[in-house]
């Protein structure tokens, strides 16, 4: 209610509640930290301006996700995004560098390589599959919620998540074998 009346503190509270998740979703979708920040900024500007039009406050999170998703599609339509930027991999590289400095070079290299492989696997998925896969697997949303966000049927969402999983499995088979070897007694 306070947010609908334009309270800055309330707006900030909404951002702090959902900002990190939305940013991570956009980063995984776009593959670039700079693009993700731009899209996150635009998403919250739109959401906070239009908060008065939201009828059910319980749907706030899904509503913000829908705005974020639409913002990505707008960027693709305006051809503001061509491909994965190198700086999209930097967060993982930075993290790996810190780990190396603390004397864990092998772990650092593995983290860096895995991070790149994960994002590369996501980038190889068609956008329609990528978005539902991220929402289901990384954001752990229900298929019903995902269906509401992307505006597709439950069956379509379920099928695309499965297909995305299988494609990612092919791309990441080397890492999943390693995982299983580590996990086995």
Partner 1 sequence: MQHIEEEQISAFIDSQLSDEEMLAVKSHLRICSGCRTVLEEMNAVTRLFQESERVAPSPFLWNRISADLNKKDPARGWVAAILESLHPYRRGLSAAAAALTLILSVGITYLYQSSRQVAERAALAAIDQTYKSLAAQDPDAYNPFTSGSLEDHENPFSSFLSGGRTAQGN
CB of 72 to partner 1, least distance (A): 15
Please, what is the minimum distance in Å from the beta carbon of residue 48 to partner 1? 6
Contact 164, 130 (CB under 8 A): yes
Give the nearer residue to partner 1 in terms of CB position, either 28 or 75.
Answer: 28
Q: How far is the CB of 91 from partner 1 (least distance, A)?
A: 5
Q: Which is nearer to partner 1, 26 or 69 (CB)?
A: 26
Measured from the CB atom, the residue of 9 and 79 that comes closer to partner 1 is: 9
- C-beta closer to partner 1: residue 30 or 79: 30
Which residues in this chain contact partner 1 in the complex, by CB under 8 A?
A: 8, 11-12, 15-16, 19-20, 23-24, 27-28, 33, 36-37, 40-41, 44-45, 48-49, 52, 91-92, 95, 114-115, 118, 136-138, 140, 142-143, 158-159, 161-162, 165-166, 168-169, 172, 175-176, 179-180
Q: List CB contacts of 22: < 8 A, sequence separation 6 or more.
A: 40, 43, 44, 64, 65, 68
CB of 54 to partner 1, least distance (A): 13
Closest CB 94 distance from partner 1, rounded Å: 10
Please list, in sequence order, all residues whose beta carbon lies within 8 angstroms of the beta carbon of residue 57, skipping any fewer than 6 positions away: none
Pick 16 or 79: Cβ nearer partner 1: 16
Radius of gyration (C-alpha) of the chain in whole angstroms: 18
Q: How many CB atoms lie within 10 A of CB 59?
A: 13
Residue ranges in the chain assigned as alpha helix (H): 8-30, 33-49, 60-77, 90-101, 105-123, 127-133, 143-150, 154-171, 173-183
Q: Least distance from C-beta 58 to partner 1, angstroms? A: 20
By beta-carbon proximity to partner 1, the closer residue of 101 and 155 is 155
CA distances for 134 relative to 96, 117, 151, angstroms: 23, 15, 16
Neighbours of 18 (CB within 10 A): 20
């Amino acid at each position: 209610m306070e947010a609908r009346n334009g309270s800055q503190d309330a707006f900030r509270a909404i951002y702090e509640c959902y900002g990190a998740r939305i940013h991570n979703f956009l980063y995984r979708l776009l593959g670039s930290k700079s693009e993700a920040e731009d899209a996150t900024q635009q998403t919250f500007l739109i959401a906070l301006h239009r908060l008065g039009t939201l009828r059910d406050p319980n749907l706030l999170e899904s509503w913000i996700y829908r705005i974020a998703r639409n913002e990505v599609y707008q960027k693709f339509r305006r051809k503001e995004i061509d491909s994965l930027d190198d700086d999209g991999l930097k967060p993982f590289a930075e993290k790996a560098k810190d780990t190396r400095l603390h004397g864990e070079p092998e772990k650092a290299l593995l983290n860096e390589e895995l991070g790149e492989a994960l994002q590369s696997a996501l980038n190889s998925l068609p956008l329609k599959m990528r978005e539902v896969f991220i929402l289901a697997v990384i954001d752990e949303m229900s298929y019903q919620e995902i269906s509401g966000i992307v505006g597709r049927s439950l069956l379509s969402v379920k099928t695309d998540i499965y297909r995305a999983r299988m494609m990612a499995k092919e791309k990441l088979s080397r890492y999943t074998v390693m995982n299983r070897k580590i996990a086995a007694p």
